[in-house]
Amino acid sequence: MKNIYLILLLFFTKLVIAQAYIPFPNDSATWVVNKYCSSPCNYLTDNQPQQIVQHGDSLKNGIIYHKLYGVFSGTNSPAFFCFYREFSKKIYFKYPLGTIFGNDTSEFVLYDFNLNVGDTFTIKTPTAGYGALATIPKMRLNSISTTTVPYITGLHTAYTFTSASGYTPYGLNLFITWYQGIGANQGFLYNLAYASWPILTPPSYPYTYNLSCFYKSNSFIFNPSCLVTSVEENLKKKKNKINIFPNPTTGNFIIKLNTKDEINNQIELTTILGELVLKKEITTNETQIDINNFANGVYFLKMNNNDGVFVYKLIKE
């Protein structure tokens, strides 16, 4: 009987832990990372907070990715940086062509919260612009704990790693912690930090990174004393480049793009029940769409372009 109770206790304990998984945000989140450097440093980029801002989505090969922008301290001008998505407790990443990963735009796993204690995880690091690494970074998962972590709001499961056996260049162990729903203590893009840490590159490369704070849905999740520079308005301006009129419409409507950039947009019109009724490529600044034969009601217009995926409500009367 005691064995049965023990089995049931273990079963329900695992069930509670599984139900407690915290997903990563799918929009409106900011990670602030402090980049530290010993002399010599570039005063324009070193020893300054860096922000990674999540805003909008993009459709790639039929898969929707969240878009991340990079922002340096003292500026509100975000620059698009990379894509990520979450599926089955894994965080998948892609970098665009010509960035620090060179011509490698393949998707890879940056976080895997299905790992068990004792498992190892190989980190994908930049292949362009950083030179050869001393070794391919590989970590071993030492512990998993669900506790209240200092500076973090609420319970978050922490995954603590050290360098795997045979992966300790310069005789030093590497330590890192992942947090469900947040990222790593070295910043969300900790794989880039690895390329700069002295234990993986020559000691003359003196950079280290630390997550300073994490801000999601207008609330601090990690370290409420951190300063976050708002860049939401700048990113929203990209959506405001698109005008749709008249709305409501009795039959025809116009899509006007207020941009000098190269135009390459795909639009989809769906009913309120999700039925696709129109799909079209537009390549000019002003395009008229004929929906005279469509039933009156509410429709959703989805536009996918280089700035992300934007959705508008359209009414036909």
- Domain identity same for 45 and 128: yes
Same domain assignment for residues 219 and 290: no
Say if residue 126 is in the same domain as residue 35.
yes
pLDDT in tens, 253-300: 988 877 655 556 778 887 766 677 888 888 788 889 999 998 888 777
User: Quick one: 172 and 27 in the same domain?
Assistant: yes
The answer to whether position 9 is within a domain reads no
Last residue of a domain, one of 233, 264, 287: 233
pLDDT per residue over 106-165, tens digit each? 899 999 999 999 999 988 877 644 444 555 678 999 999 886 666 677 778 899 998 888
Q: Is residue 150 part of a domain?
A: yes
Contacts of residue 110, defined as CB under 8 A and 6 or more positions apart, other chains included, come to 84, 91, 92, 93, 124, 189, 190, 191
Looking at the structure, do residues 69 and 200 belong to the same domain, yes or no? yes
7 domain-assigned: no
Residue 205 lies in a domain: yes
Residue 40 reports pLDDT greater than 60: no
Q: Is residue 248 part of a domain?
A: yes
Asked whether residue 4 is domain-assigned, the answer is no
How many domains does the chain contain in total? Answer: 2
Same domain as 189, residue 142: yes
Shared-domain flag, residues 199 and 312:
no
- Model confidence at 56, in pLDDT bands (50, 70, 90)? confident
**Are residues 134 and 214 both part of a single domain?**
yes
State the pLDDT confidence band at 238, using cuts at 50, 70 and 90: low
The residue from 181, 200, 233 where one domain ends is 233
Q: Are residues 264 and 229 located together in one domain of the fold?
A: no
Residues 85 and 128 in one domain: yes
Q: Are residues 206 and 286 in the same domain?
A: no
Output the pTM of the full model. Answer: 0.65
Last residue in a domain, options 193, 214, 233: 233
Domain residue limits at 210: 22-233
CATH code of the domain containing 294: 2.60.40.1930
List phi, psi (to 5°) of 161: -120, 155
Asked whether residue 216 is domain-assigned, the answer is: yes
Residue 8 lies in a domain: no
If we measure between CA atoms, which residue out of 151, 139, 189 comes closest to residue 24? 189
One domain for residues 251 and 278: yes
